[in-house]
Structure 1
């Protein structure tokens, strides 16, 4: 397979033996792909290879058909949340200079499009290849301003091959896609079905843990991709709903650390379950995974690099402009290298996020993730938090992710977030925001006692704030930006 356009051709030729289904039983067909292609080939749109198309991505079959048709024409797909505000969509469209937008079942031209001078004029449309731009994925903005991440067809195909290999996906697997298609984690669940010829069921409703648990049972799901907040919400109700999970063999996780408490709770209900703890970022899709058989032996680790990718922990010496790989158990910044690494941010002036360190030739690049890690003597990696999130409290270095992992083991806790703030003397301190299973005064007091008993005073957050609900982003990640704003008010 050389590009995602080949996926479209397989569906059209009826040589694809997988299935993409909705909860109501609608399936992706060749006729839907033909309809989507005709929609994009309207002469009035004037679309050509390299143009960008914004897609208001709902978890429905025709949205996927439009994406496939766009790749067949050599367009770059820019997925945005289906119910995103018009202002947010226009901001994305303007940033990447998209020519058209797909919404409400139709494709319309965008007034914000600025005419581009083509360096190469073709007599006939060029063939779509692996180096063509396939996706511009905008980050959720949970830790800063959203940035457009450029991925080629080859970037995506490399990730698909690696992930389907280590997840041990087969044609018999059935995946429940709970995440929106605007989130790369959701979109890849669809691509797994097309690439590996398994089945993906699109969950096209607002996330509701009771309904999602019933959907797991009714659709005979074998693979459940989640983010930590989803995993905690689902397992909290699993003994109440009592779904039939006899066919569920694996849970995959992204968007943060899946706590020991949540893993054990799932294992208690479904002992045969394989739980894949993973780490990744949209800029390279996936970087690490832990073999599910090692979940208890290496609790807290995100494992080792995925197939086809190299990962190293470096410390940068700005004076010498050089990089030194750290020793075992030493903390440094994670760098990754491989053909899944993004091309760049669409806006070359985008600040924050990951950065690319260029080597001697075009693809000789390291991606500086901006995330802090350590590595043990057996080569297993441990996430310590984002470098800019490191908190220096009274001379001690506090890693938020380490603290969150510990706090999440408390049976009273549903979700926790540790963030940096300032005290009345403007000194840096750690603040812990906690969502308890039952937010009563008695539970709050018990949690404070538990914290004193389980955490050294020098590394304990100076402030504890109890929240009825910790707000999540559209991708079900903790909305750290909103929390930070609330702490400053």
Structure 2
């Protein structure tokens, strides 16, 4: 029985050692090769004195080294921290210090961007660069407290007799995934081995995945939805095709080239895919596609079904704090296309009032997720954990005394047949391009720009992005055009693309309420009519 993250690979290697586990461009790696390489990386970790509980940051695109680095952690009981490769130095610096990353694995280009801040990485002791040789490593300026190694040197220093035995438990932390909260900096969500393995089992069960599937992974592996493409694939012994795409056409070409049977994406990518040409017979192999990370517009769903007529669509809802909560069966899409569906396997969903009592049919309440997919809380953030992870309501059927429930912060309702419908979010989180963005975090970056005196961030509906970010700015610079250029350049230096405001609007002052706080509700009402800006 598969219990730990590394066993997702090792058990498939035992069953089908020669089956292809990973395809990256024209390179293929069998399950036997992948399992052997994971062991080598784990042995090399021991040489660097990595032990149980240490955090290892992986700041890479989709490469074999990325996959090996994450799964090798499980053999030692170390904790992998996948970092979205589009994040900039400031965001990486925050994550590394927040969870005290001891070892960082990256490439030359990303290390170059991090170099000015390396002296401020408080716990970092070693950096491994996957695409540099020893001569190139010697030329990299680095604080004396941090050692830089090439990947090749790192692997050759391993000892085959290094002890990989650990006393890990299924409920120990396996990974920390960072996701923005409604206020402040990103929060690290702690996932246990059970969370990850059972999540893979749940998804592979309702998608009916088998060893014959070729699954296309286009989403970031730092995203629970993206990571699950790997884990569910490895669980059943299927082939996972890793793709870092630039254009929607790259995805379509990959579907045809690798005879993809299943793929997952977020609404912005699906929308892009409907706007390009699909050559005839491109999708003959696709048997399912899935959506999460936001509502998929019905016209987009219709276009996708037209381009993939034989494929079954699965519309899913979830939050990283509980992996995934519900999915709408393909059999129900024509009947109730606006529904979130019902609970996934291994999850129980309640809809509750503010007092914790159960809502009646069609009564709006908060979605509460119960069961073994509920994660371990936020890394070293007891206040935020207590706000989101609470005692399981008494009416839960599968109540486990040792587990907490996740209160989602989302308002939903459930009809008489048990189908869920999303109503609205309780907090101010912006969801754009499949990512969650904290307005507070974005405002703090903007306020570092000299041209910005005050700022407020709002979001307006966008068919392409889910929500489009607007920055409302007060500036003392009378040349607004030059200010706008400076602000945009500042954002491009400091933020990933999905966080950069789509529009900048200058105001003489920000409206405030009676308590002196910025009246964001007033701003939203005024600018929700500005949809023609996007």
Cα pair 1:136 1:148 within 8 Å, conserved: yes
* Equivalent residue number for residue 53 of structure 2: 50
- Residue 363 of structure 1 and its aligned partner are, at CA, apart by 2.5
Query: 2:178, 2:189 within 8 Å by CA — same for their partners in 1?
Result: yes
1:281 to 310, 319, 322: 319
Change (3 A) 1:293 1:12: closer
- For residues 13-412 of structure 1, the aligned pairs below 5 Å read 15-16=16-17, 17=19, 19-27=21-29, 29-30=33-34, 31-42=36-47, 45-104=48-107, 112-113=122-123, 126-140=166-180, 145-206=185-246, 208-239=247-278, 241-242=279-280, 244-317=282-355, 323-349=356-382, 351=384, 355-359=388-392, 363-389=402-428
* Change beyond 3 A, Cα 1:83–1:381: closer
Cα distance in 2 for residues equivalent to 1:424 and 1:362: 45
Where 1:138 maps in the other structure, the secondary structure is strand
Cα 1:146–1:261 shift into 2, 3 Å:
same
Distance 1:124 1:293 in 2: 46
Paired residues, number:
405
The residue number in structure 1 matching 2:442 is: none
- Give the 3 Å change call, closer, same or farther, for CA 416–137 of structure 1 in structure 2: closer
Partners of 1:231 and 1:427 in 2: CA distance: 31
User: How far apart, in 2, do the equivalents of 1:177 and 1:27 lie?
Assistant: 15
Cα distance, 1:281 vs structure 2: 0.6
Preserved CA contact (<8 Å) 1:20 1:193:
no
Distance 1:417 1:110 in 2: 34
- Asked whether the equivalents of residues 315 and 328 of structure 2 are also in contact (C-alpha less than 8 Å), the reply is yes
The 1:40/1:293 distance shift into structure 2, 3 A limit, reads same
TM-score by length of 1: 0.75
Give the C-alpha shift of residue 63 in structure 1. 1.2
> After superposition, what is the alpha-carbon deviation per residue over 1:415-459, rounded to whole angstroms, capped at 9, x for unaligned?
5538999989969358599xxxxxxxxxxxxxxxxxxxxxxxxxx
Tell me how far apart the structure 1 counterparts of residues 12 and 289 of structure 2 sit (CA, whole Å).
Answer: 28
Whether the 8 Å contact between 2:289 and 2:312 is mirrored in structure 1 is yes
Shift of 1:192: 1.7
In structure 1, the partner of 2:3 is 2
| C-alpha distance 388-85 of structure 1, shift in aligned 2 (>3 A) | closer
Residues 75 and 164 in structure 2, CA contact (< 8 A), matched pair in contact too: no
Runs ≥4 residues deviating over 6 A: 105-110, 418-425
| 1:8, distance to aligned residue in structure 2 (A) | 4.8
Return closer, same or farther for 1:7/1:53 CA change in 2, 3 Å cut-off.
Answer: same
TM (normalized to structure 2)? 0.69
Change (3 A) 1:417 1:11: closer
1:417 to 459, 462, 467: 467
Report deviation, 1:307. 1.1
Structure 2 CA distance for partners of 1:202 and 1:361, relative to 1, 3 Å? closer
- State the distance in 1 between where 2:310 and 2:58 align: 39
> 1:197/1:89 Cα in 2 relative to 1: closer, same or farther (>3 Å)?
same
**Shift in CA distance, 132/462, structure 1 to aligned 2, threshold 3 Å:** closer
Corresponding residue SS for 2:256: helix
Structure 1, unpaired ranges of 5+:
116-122, 318-322, 391-406, 434-460, 469-489
Q: CA distance change for structure 1 residues 214 and 201 in 2, over 3 Å: closer, same or farther?
A: same
1:101–1:109 contact (8 Å) kept in structure 2:
no
SS in 2 for 1:39: helix
Partner of 1:320: none
- Give the superposition deviation at 1:253: 0.8
CA distance in 1, matches of 2:23, 2:104: 24
Check 1:371–1:144 CA distance in 2 against 1; reply closer, same or farther (3 A cut).
Answer: farther
d(CA) in 2 for partners of 1:286, 1:34: 30
The residue number in structure 2 matching 1:463 is 529
- Single out whichever of 94-103 and 278-287 deviates more from structure 2: 94-103
Q: Do the aligned partners of residues 366 and 256 (structure 1) sit closer, same or farther apart at CA in structure 2, a change above 3 Å counting?
A: same
Q: Give the SS at the match of 2:531.
A: strand
d(CA) in 1 for partners of 2:242, 2:415: 39
Q: 8 Å contact 2:16–2:237 — kept in the other structure?
A: no
Change (3 A) 1:276 1:432: farther
Cα distance in 2 for partners of 1:418, 1:112 equals 35
CA distance in 2, matches of 1:305, 1:289: 7
Change beyond 3 A, Cα 1:222–1:214: same
- In the aligned structure 1, how far is the partner of 2:166 from the partner of 2:512? 63
Q: Distance in 1 between matches of 2:327 and 2:187?
A: 25
- Structure 2: which 5+ runs fail to align? 112-117, 126-162, 393-398, 430-460, 473-509, 514-518
Q: Does the 8 Å contact 1:18/1:196 carry over to 2? A: no
